[in-house]
């Protein structure tokens, strides 16, 4: 292999996926039926499923690639949730590890409708084998956040970077278990509780009061509440005014900052970015987000890595730059 093409959250966008693979120089092999590249490997950041119209086709395409070695896949929160939605709780018959309530079912409906019976079971078994992150030496891939402490927790509990038993998976869905917390960070990204820092809750665009904000872990060396809390969602106060700028209070390093300080670049997905890749938000010297909202009028994007130790915006494929 001379390089990796790290592909963002596909979410059932089958046509966009084949267009992107074609643009990256992958061709369908007559022998295996899989998309292959003579010298490169595709790495999927997870969230292959939910929402889009081509659930089954995406899974067929990616699994064929994984089976012949032309791709690897890390687990996204949607694959994790799909397994949990399907798995009955061992101690509570009739209940599932992810509750089958209206909200969770709606979010999962495209997959449930399009991937059925034995085919669904087979793909869910495959999801269980996905690593929760990939350290490829000079490049790292994770769905939402690269965080060494959380990875240490996972390796301690699983003995590896992936699940090897149903019992382990059950533990990973138990709130307040350190394994659950660690997987939340890796697959959904860290959050910070503003009220613990003397700030008021904010109201999101749907009018829901929230005290926790996403943490901008990709900002190298960020250490203040203002730099770390992501507050760009049009948030309001209880009385409807724009939520004020946060103070520059120091946040304890390692405890809540999560700021990535490694020398090796990290490529991740999950965050529903839009438009052109922006320095300091979508990419930094050492981090690159490849989720540009494929299913939501955005673009299925990839980062084409050729061995560089600093992210190069011109190596994005599929998004304008
Ligand atoms: Mn995600």
The model's pLDDT over 275-298, given as tens digits with 9 standing for 90+, comes to 999 999 999 999 999 999 999 889
Q: How far is the CA of 239 from the centre of ligand 1 (A)?
A: 32
- Look up the domain containing 117 and give its range: 3-189+262-317
Q: Are residues 87 and 196 in the same domain?
A: no
CA of 77 to the centre of ligand 1 (A): 5
d(CA 95, CA 99): 7
Do 31 and 167 reside in the same domain of the chain? Answer: yes
- Does residue 298 sit in the same domain as residue 151? yes
Q: Do the Cβ atoms of 264 and 287 come closer than 8 Å?
A: no
Q: What is the whole-number distance in angstroms between the Cα of residue 70 and the centre of ligand 1?
A: 23
Same domain as 55, residue 141: yes
| Domain final residue pick, 212, 232, 257 | 257
In angstroms, what is the span from residue 141 Cα to ligand 1's centroid?
13
What CATH number should be reported for the domain holding residue 131? 3.60.21.10
**Prediction pTM value:** 0.95
Distance of CA 294 to the CA centre of its chain: 13
- One domain, residues 248 and 162: no
CA of 193 to the centre of ligand 1 (A): 21
The number of distinct structural domains making up the chain is: 2
* Alpha-carbon span 190 to 193, nearest angstrom: 10
Q: Give residue 176 CA to ligand 1 midpoint distance, Å.
A: 21
Residues 160 and 299 both lie in one domain: yes
Ligand 1 centroid distance, CA of 11 (Å): 9
* Separation of alpha carbons 266 and 176, rounded Å: 28
Same domain, 173 and 248: no
| pLDDT one-digit tens code per residue, 196-242 | 999 999 999 888 999 999 999 999 888 899 999 999 888 999 999 99
pLDDT in tens for each of the 321 residues of the chain? 689 999 999 999 999 999 999 999 999 999 989 999 999 999 999 999 999 999 999 999 999 999 999 999 999 999 999 999 999 999 999 999 999 999 999 999 999 999 999 999 999 999 999 999 999 999 999 999 999 999 999 999 999 999 999 999 999 999 989 999 999 999 999 999 999 999 999 999 888 999 999 999 999 888 899 999 999 888 999 999 999 999 999 988 766 779 999 999 999 999 999 999 999 999 999 999 999 999 988 999 999 999 999 999 999 999 754
Neighbours of 262 (CB within 10 A): 12
């Amino acid at each position: 292999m001379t390089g990796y093409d790290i592909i963002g959250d596909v979410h059932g966008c089958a046509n966009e996926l084949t267009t992107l693979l074609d643009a990256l120089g992958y061709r369908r092999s007559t022998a295996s039926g899989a998309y292959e590249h003579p010298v490169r490997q595709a790495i999927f950041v997870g969230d292959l499923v939910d929402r889009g119209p081509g659930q089954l086709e995406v899974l067929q395409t990616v699994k064929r690639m994984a089976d012949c070695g032309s791709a690897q896949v890390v687990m996204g929160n949607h694959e994790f949730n799909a397994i949990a939605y399907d798995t009955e709780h061992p101690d509570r018959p009739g209940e599932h590890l992810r509750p089958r309530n209206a909200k969770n079912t709606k979010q999962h409906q495209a997959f449930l409708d399009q991937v059925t019976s034995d085919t669904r079971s087979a793909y869910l078994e495959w999801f269980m084998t996905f690593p929760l992150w990939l350290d490829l030496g000079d490049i790292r891939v994770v769905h939402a956040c690269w965080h060494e402490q959380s990875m240490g927790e996972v390796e301690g509990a699983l003995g590896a970077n992936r699940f090897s038993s149903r019992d382990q998976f059950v533990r990973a869905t138990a709130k307040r278990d350190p394994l659950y917390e660690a997987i939340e960070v890796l697959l959904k990204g860290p959050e910070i509780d503003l009220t613990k820092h003397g700030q008021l809750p904010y109201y999101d665009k749907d009018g829901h009061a929230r005290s926790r904000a996403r943490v901008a872990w990709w900002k190298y060396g960020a250490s203040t509440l203002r730099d770390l809390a992501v507050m760009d969602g049009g948030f309001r106060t209880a009385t409807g005014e724009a939520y004020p700028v946060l103070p520059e209070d120091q946040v304890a390093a390692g405890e809540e900052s999560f700021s990535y300080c490694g020398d090796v670049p990290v490529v991740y997905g999950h965050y529903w970015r839009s438009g052109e890749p922006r320095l300091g938000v979508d990419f930094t010297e050492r981090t690159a987000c490849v989720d540009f909202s494929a299913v939501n009028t955005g673009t299925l994007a990839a980062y084409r890595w050729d061995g560089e130790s600093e992210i190069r915006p011109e190596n994005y494929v599929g998004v304008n730059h």
